[in-house]
Amino acid sequence: MTLRLYNTLTSEKELFDSVKPGEVGIYLCGPTVYKPSHIGHAVGPVIFDVIKRYLTFKNFKVTWVLNVTDVEDKLIAEAEAQGRDMLELARDLERQYVDAMGAMGVKNIDYMPRASEHIQEIIDHINDLIEKGHAYVVEGDVYFDVSKDEDYGKLTNRKADDQESGTREGLVKAAKRNPGDFALWKAAKPGEPASAKYQAPWGVGRPGWHIECSAMAMKYLGKTFDIHGGGLDLKFPHHENEIAQAECATGQTFAKYWMHHGLTRFNTKKIAKSDPEMAKVMESLQIANLLKQHDPESLRFLILQSHYRSPIDFSDEVLKAAKSGLGTFRRLLERVERVTNSDPYKPEMQIERMRDAELDPRGRDLLDELMHLRVRFLEEMDDDFNTAGAIAVLFEIANAMNKYIDAAKLETHSDELPRNMLRAAGGTLVSLGNVLGLFERRPAARAIGDDGKLPQLVELLVNVRKMSREAKQYAIGDHIRDELTKLGITLEDGKDGTRWRID
């Protein structure tokens, strides 16, 4: 099975062939930490987390770099507005970002370099470009000269001349040789904080946007590496400029594959801080706020249920649908746990290891079906990381397992053979889910009240209800159940008694 991925550079799905055999280097553009992150910021990390998991699953040794830009104009302005130190504010926001990503299961980042801690590398990079005639100094600013780069525009297929003029009006510095030239270094302006001032050979100032990424990517991954990713909105100018800087400096290919994920929208509009309409809902779209009301796995599930290149229209409706869908797996795993008496979240068995002697006819059928579904899952992932297709397969696996439990009457019979088969099936479901960062642990019971007495209270009501039902006083029992349902506690009467769960 071979992995294919869509390369923005060629606008085609290409066969994946790593630069170094068995190793993969990935660079994802991370946040500029000047405002709390919103849900859209989670999309890249979640998808690339899956990409790393899958490549690791395919036995590649993966190095994943996600940068933090903490020296930047808007950050300076925000710190100024809040009367705080720039780097202190940056660290705060970075911590919030890391916590939120961790909660959503993003845990495989190898390096999170900060721009402020790579000033020397940036200066060296700029120096290199100046020496090679690709950049020039004007009054303490350094600009990249696009006219000296024949390949400029190759990522987004654009020529500087065709771009709408006027938008840059007032922003175009007279000192620039071409309107498309961009800053590699910005001279310090009066009143700017000391933490944003660095000494460079051509004067005091700070890096321009773009240069930190090519400098840090090359430091951690080498001059040529495999995958560079980011949001669609970064294609131009950010990634175009990164390519220009890096390739003019090294004379070799920067990133082999460019992957861009779709943008998160709200009411079909991109989530953008500068949009006044969006400003009203921004707060509710902050990850920290969303995590207070929704469990992180649902958010992750929602993101992965569409293809990474498609936009996601975020809303309560889609979130609710994602949560319902996830519930199917959670209930199934609970069922597996009950029936097999083993922890499905720590799988010890997989279907691949089942032997014929351990199977009855029904088990054999399930095994065949699951083997087939497992292959389909991997095929979906091989096809440009089609997580939506992969999740569809997981649902089919869940259906097959539920059917098996029903047909073999595993909830009322205790034959060891089918239970083992179910354990293995659960193991495969969970380990495939793990490739997507799902089903990593038992969902935490929602805490309602901190005194821990809730379970006892529910048990009490369940018992009272049981007594009334035994006395055929169904009205009382139904009342208890209905009222609990209203509180978000669902009762399920099974053959072996009543179970309950909190949604």
Site string for RNA, 72-111 (x = CB under 7 A): x-x-------------------------------------
Q: Which helix (H) or strand (E) holds 256?
A: strand 255-261
Give me 322's structure tokens.
């994602």
User: Please, what is the minimum distance in Å from the beta carbon of residue 83 to RNA?
Assistant: 21
| Residue 56 binds RNA, judged by CB under 7 A | no
**Binding residue (CB under 7 A) for RNA from 93, 184, 215, 234:** 234
Are 151 and 244 within 8 A, CB to CB? yes
Nearest Cα residue to 48 out of 31, 34, 70, 65: 65
| Residue 157 binds RNA, judged by CB under 7 A | yes
270 vs 294, beta carbon nearer RNA: 270
| Residue 32 binds RNA, judged by CB under 7 A | yes
**Binding residue (CB under 7 A) for RNA from 224, 311, 371, 454:** 311
Residue 62 phi, psi dihedral angles, 5° rounding: -105, 135
23 vs 295, beta carbon nearer RNA: 295
3-class DSSP state of 326: helix
| Residue 418 binds RNA, judged by CB under 7 A | no
| Residue 280 binds RNA, judged by CB under 7 A | no
- AA identity, residue 141: D
**Binding residue (CB under 7 A) for RNA from 83, 274, 356, 452:** 274
Which of these segments, 195-203, 269-277, 354-362, 440-448, binds RNA (CB under 7 A)?
Answer: 269-277
User: Please, what is the minimum distance in Å from the beta carbon of residue 347 to RNA?
Assistant: 20
| Residue 277 binds RNA, judged by CB under 7 A | no
The span from the CA of 135 to the CA of 242, in Å, is 14
Cα 106 to chain centroid, rounded: 7
User: Please, what is the minimum distance in Å from the beta carbon of residue 321 to RNA?
Assistant: 4
**Binding residue (CB under 7 A) for RNA from 140, 193, 222, 237:** 237
**Binding residue (CB under 7 A) for RNA from 120, 147, 156, 252:** 156
Across the strands, what pairs with 5? 14
The span from the CA of 442 to the CA of 343, in Å, is 9
* Burial of 501 per CB tally in 10 Å (0-12, 13-18, 19+): middle
2 vs 11, beta carbon nearer RNA: 11
Residue written as token pair 């979906």: 380
Give me 141's structure tokens.
């600013």
Rg (CA), the chain: 27
| Residue 373 binds RNA, judged by CB under 7 A | no
**Binding residue (CB under 7 A) for RNA from 253, 284, 289, 386:** 386
**Binding residue (CB under 7 A) for RNA from 125, 374, 419, 481:** 481
Which of these segments, 190-198, 247-255, 361-369, 382-390, binds RNA (CB under 7 A)?
Answer: 382-390
87 vs 304, beta carbon nearer RNA: 304
Nearest Cα residue to 183 out of 149, 142, 235: 142
Site string for RNA, 322-351 (x = CB under 7 A): x-xx-xx--xx--x----------------
User: Please, what is the minimum distance in Å from the beta carbon of residue 445 to RNA?
Assistant: 16
**Binding residue (CB under 7 A) for RNA from 98, 318, 417, 454:** 318
23 vs 154, beta carbon nearer RNA: 154
The dihedral region occupied by 200, where left means phi > 0, alpha psi between -120 and 50, and beta the remainder, is beta
| Residue 2 binds RNA, judged by CB under 7 A | no
The span from the CA of 257 to the CA of 187, in Å, is 34
453 vs 479, beta carbon nearer RNA: 479
Give alpha helix (H) positions in 83-210. 86-103, 119-131
The span from the CA of 327 to the CA of 336, in Å, is 14
| Residue 369 binds RNA, judged by CB under 7 A | no
- The pairs formed by 462-469 with CB atoms below 8 angstroms and a separation of 24 or more are 462/491, 462/498, 462/500, 465/491, 465/498, 466/498
25 vs 44, beta carbon nearer RNA: 44
**Binding residue (CB under 7 A) for RNA from 391, 422, 432, 461:** 391
| Residue 494 binds RNA, judged by CB under 7 A | yes
Which of these segments, 127-135, 224-232, 412-420, 454-462, binds RNA (CB under 7 A)?
Answer: 224-232
**Binding residue (CB under 7 A) for RNA from 98, 119, 188, 272:** 272
Number of other CB atoms surrounding residue 333 within 10 Å: 22
Number of other CB atoms surrounding residue 499 within 10 Å: 14
252 vs 463, beta carbon nearer RNA: 463
User: Please, what is the minimum distance in Å from the beta carbon of residue 394 to RNA?
Assistant: 8
User: Please, what is the minimum distance in Å from the beta carbon of residue 247 to RNA?
Assistant: 19
Report which DSSP code applies to 32: B
Are 33 and 75 within 8 A, CB to CB? yes
| Residue 268 binds RNA, judged by CB under 7 A | yes
136 vs 209, beta carbon nearer RNA: 209
Nearest Cα residue to 458 out of 494, 425, 493, 502: 502
Site string for RNA, 6-25 (x = CB under 7 A): -----x--------------
Residue written as token pair 């302005």: 77
- AA identity, residue 458: V
